[in-house]
């Protein structure tokens, strides 16, 4: 898929504020600082579309982008950021869960997981919750340029083992690097195929 247009539409603090156009929507989620905003910029080829930062906790709202005038990409606040107050973490977590359950045009989550570290309980818990609520998702293993092949394979194996305790069939796992552009075709290809199937 070629990205011919990518526009920021709006930031929402509530699901009811999200755009009303009934376009298929893909939501990017994952631990704070995992690389959600960077991946969105890499996919769209627009360096400054989503704000990125070395400081975790940059994205605190639901940000909507309309791609090729035909689908939405939603950048969600990261979970598990220790420096947020407990109350703020809970507020954001509830927002994400309401979004997952209430957003009617949501097609799939992309759950981003950092390839540099072994899978964390918080990621596995979130994925389990999606499963229990029958929300479709794909996993994206991020920042693969920062680890060597051996460590990446080990972390992927650990992730697959943890997931196979939850799932009879493993979910789709794609690998990405926002720096190198790795995974762009696979992720956009998945979205294009899914959009096609919805027609």
Binding positions for Mg ion, rule: CB under 5 A: 36-37, 58-59
Using the rule CB under 6 A, is 33 a contact of ligand GTP? yes
Using the rule CB under 6 A, is 80 a contact of ligand GTP? no
User: Considering only residues 83-122, where is the footprint of ligand GTP by CB under 6 A?
Assistant: none
Q: Which partner, Mg ion, ligand GTP, none, binds residue 152 by CB below 5 to 8 Å per kind?
A: none
**C-beta of residue 119 within 8 angstroms of C-beta of residue 158:** yes
| Residue (37 or 115) nearer to Mg ion, CB | 37
Given candidates 32, 44, 63, 108, which one binds ligand GTP under the rule CB under 6 A? 32
Residue 165 to residue 161: CA distance in whole angstroms: 7
3-state helix, strand and coil shares in percent for the chain, rounded to the nearest 5: 40, 25, 40
Q: Which partner, Mg ion, ligand GTP, none, binds residue 44 by CB below 5 to 8 Å per kind?
A: none
Q: Minimum distance from CB of 87 to ligand GTP (Å)?
A: 18
Q: Minimum distance from CB of 36 to Mg ion (Å)?
A: 5
Using the rule CB under 6 A, is 37 a contact of ligand GTP? yes
| Residue (31 or 58) nearer to Mg ion, CB | 58
| Residue (56 or 171) nearer to ligand GTP, CB | 56
A 10 A CB-CB count for 132 gives: 9
Using the rule CB under 6 A, is 178 a contact of ligand GTP? yes
A 10 A CB-CB count for 24 gives: 17
Count of residues near ligand GTP by CB under 6 A: 22
Residue 156 to residue 18: CA distance in whole angstroms: 34
∠94-98-100 over CA atoms, to 5°?
Answer: 115
Name 109's bridge partners: 27, 137
Half-sphere exposure of 147 (CA within 13 A, CB side): 20
Q: Which residues neighbour 14 within 8 Å (Cβ) at sequence distance 6 or greater? A: 95
Name 63's bridge partners: 11, 75
Given candidates 146, 160, 192, 195, which one binds ligand GTP under the rule CB under 6 A? 146
- Residues at the contact surface with ligand GTP, assessed by CB under 6 A: 32-38, 52-54, 56-59, 78, 142-143, 145-146, 177-179
């Amino acid at each position: 898929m070629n990205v011919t247009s990518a526009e920021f539409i709006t930031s929402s603090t509530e699901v009811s504020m999200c755009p009303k156009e009934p376009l298929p929507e893909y939501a990017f989620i994952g631990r704070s600082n995992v690389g959600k905003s960077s991946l969105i910029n890499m996919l769209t080829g627009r360096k400054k579309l989503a704000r990125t930062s070395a400081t975790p906790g940059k994205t605190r709202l639901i940000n909507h982008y309309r791609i090729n005038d035909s689908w939405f990409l939603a950048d969600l606040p990261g979970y598990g950021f220790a420096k947020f107050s407990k109350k703020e973490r809970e507020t954001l977590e509830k927002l994400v869960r309401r979004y997952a359950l209430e957003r009617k045009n949501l097609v799939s989550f992309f759950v981003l997981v950092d390839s540099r570290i072994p899978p964390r309980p918080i990621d596995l818990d979130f994925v389990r919750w999606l499963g229990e609520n029958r929300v479709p998702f794909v996993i994206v293993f991020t920042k693969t340029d920062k680890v060597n092949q051996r460590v990446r394979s080990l972390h992927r194996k650990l992730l697959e083992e943890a997931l196979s305790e939850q799932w009879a069939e493993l979910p789709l796992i794609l690998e990405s690097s926002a720096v190198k552009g790795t995974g762009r075709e696979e992720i956009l290809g998945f979205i294009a195929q899914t959009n096609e199937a919805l027609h």
